[in-house]
Amino acid sequence: MIEFEIPKPIVMNNTALETVAINMMRPVSRYFDEHEHEIPWDYINFMHMAMRATGAGSLAPTERKKKEGEEEKERPRLGYQSLAHMLEMLAWGDCGMYLVTPGGGLGAAAVEAAGTPEQKEKFLKRFRGEKPVFGAMAMTEPQAGSDTSAIRTTAVLDPATNEWILNGEKIFVTAGHKSLCESDGLVVVWATIDPSAGRAGMRAFVVEARTPGVTVSKLEHKLGIRASDTASVVLQDARVPFDHLLGSAEVVREPTTKGFKGAMATFDATRPLVAATAIGVARAALEMLKEMLAKQGVTIRYGLPRQKLTTVEREVIDMEAMLRSAWLLVIKSVWMADNRLPNSKEASMAKLRAGDVVTKITQRAVELMGPLGYSREYLLEKWFRDAKISDIYEGTGQINRLIVARHVLGYTGRDLR
């Protein structure tokens, strides 16, 4: 069953993370927003050492090894639940800086979702090394957008060398530059091994840093999350070993295929975590709004009938209710992930709701504070800019609405597009 009391290990971790957020993130939040593409190495190195000391080593959840004679059900799995609390707190500190936290990121999540045990051991151990290492996932293309079946990046097997040759271009790759140029990281590239097969031909390939033929061609200048690099990556006759393909090379032409399911399994794991970061940004904005209102003599009178409250009081209470409802959806979806339950619908619900909520709360906080909210003197306007990405990456709000509708109505992707 889902329990609403936060487990003690997570409470202790949250206390430490709050200290990091207050002392290492908030003081430099404005600086790295205004100095886009400058890398916050002090934060990165500290977090890397801290995660190594605690055994975390990566933002990707890992299985705790069972001791000899230990019962399988001795303690609950808390991997994704711990991550959700962790990322919510770090995003509360600064969403852009959270995205440069060292670890496997989406790349490691893709390996966890679609890789073999041997591949997980081979590729994920690098994130537990002495130096900070980053991982990324490259799926979006200039002509494809949210339509994953339109991917044109190709992977062709060279029988002479038993290597895959990748050609194509990927855009909006979060942490792409740090993964390929600033560390011994990796990028999981989605490509097609059979363009005529549509989604059935989609496969994920692990491309390591400094692979010949792989170039970071551009760094985006963005509205928000400016501390995080968002890169374009070009692959020109890039060769990767055969066993860098995650899953099987066999193409099975079925409506729901293993290649496409691998991509979706990655999103089922990561969408609730993106939702958690949205909650962190929304909570930061709402807390600051209440503090600023209190300084102006406005208090929220809980418990009164709604008709006796002021407009501002009603709006704040409504925002608190929205925030709580979104967080509960996150908790349910990560609990399901930890318990190996299918959570595609719940993951999309959490991502969709959180993206809506953070956009509405940050926008209204700016509006309610008027010139102070719009001023760069406070972080409200920055959080407003940071918020919008939560409704876009890891599947736009429109895509997640489609996914939820298909689950609720019992339609396939072909039936409802």
| Active-site residue, from 112, 315, 346, 394 | 394
Written in H, E and C, the secondary structure of the chain is CCCCCCCHHHHHHHHHHHHHHHHHHHHHHHHHHHCCCCCCHHHHHHHHHHHHHHCCCCCCCCCCCCCCCCCCCCCCCCHHHHHHHHHHHHHHHCHHHHCCCCECHHHHHHHHHHCCHHHHHHHHHHHHCCCCCEEEEECCCCCCCCCHHHCCCEEEEECCCCEEEEEEEEEEEECHHHHHCCCCCEEEEEEECCHHHHHHHEEEEEEECCCCCEEEEEECCCCCCCCCCEEEEEEEEEEEEHHHEECCCCCCCCCCCHHHHHHHHHHHHHHHHHHHHHHHHHHHHHHHHHHHHHHCCCCCCCCCCHHHCCHHHHHHHHHHHHHHHHHHHHHHHHHHHHCCCCCHHHHHHHHHHHHHHHHHHHHHHHHHCCHHHHCCCCCHHHHHHHHHHHHCCCCCHHHHHHHHHHHHHCCCCCCCC
Annotation says 394 is catalytic: yes
Report, as residue numbers or ranges, the catalytic residues. 394
